[in-house]
A and B are shown apart, each in its own frame.
Chain A
Amino acid sequence: DAMVIQNPRYQVTQFGKPVTLSCSQTLNHNVMYWYQQKSSQAPKLLFHYYDKDFNNEADTPDNFQSRRPNTSFCFLDIRSPGLGDAAMYLCATSRDGFSGANVLTFGAGSRLTVL
């Protein structure tokens, strides 16, 4: 089945120790998104790629970086995780970011714990 796969599902790191989360998709979708979601809160868009074009949200901290080496893969790098970065990180894809019926397909998420 075509899907979005995130690894790892659970990541524990120490304060300040870099972390990389990965996302792969077999849907051949053009757009890939990274969201941060804290408990009982709305998902917060960090950035997205339309093909190779990178789009950073204005309020995404510099501590968060992303790479998309090819259509299938996207990575989220957190350079120096703080306690406030503990959250679920959701990767999502969509066929086209510029149409109304732009349904997102999400991965299962990576839950980050910062000690």
Chain B
Amino acid sequence: GQNIDQPTEMTATEGAIVQINCTYQTSGFNGLFWYQQHAGEAPTFLSYNVLDGLEEKGRFSSFLSRSKGYSYLLLKELQMKDSASYLCAVMDSNYQLIWGAGTKLIIKP
């Protein structure tokens, strides 16, 4: 079966750096997405990786290793507004999106 694993919850301090990991096992690979979802709101797109390596976008960076079936989302200079769930999703060979359950990130002052 297809599977996405990410930690259920993480806690970090305002101003710090946090890394949210995602491992996947899917039928083929056509890219990996990270979405941010604030409580009670819709997911919003953060990043897309299809090649190995690091993609940087402001305070957020996303890394992919296809051979290891692994990605991480790196958040720097954490702000209170970064408190949210972060969803990892992989597009398989049939262009179907396989979603993880999300990592709830709690930011403390």
Contacts and interface: CB of A to CB of B under 8 A. Distances in A.
B70 interface: no
Given A40-B102, A43-B43, A111-B40, A101 B97 contact: no
By size class, the interface of chain A is: 20 to 34
B87 interface: yes
A103 B96 CA distance: 12
Nearest to B95: A98
Given A100-B31, A100-B50, A41 B101 contact: yes
Contact of B44 (A41, A97, A99, A106): A106
A88 B40 CA distance: 8
Interface residues of B, number: 25
Contacts of A43: 43, 87, 99
Interface in B47-73: 48, 50
Contact of A42 (B44, B45, B101): B101
Nearest to A108: B42
B84 interface: no
Interface string A3-21: 0000000000000000000
B26 interface: no
B11 interface: no
A111 B101 CA distance: 18
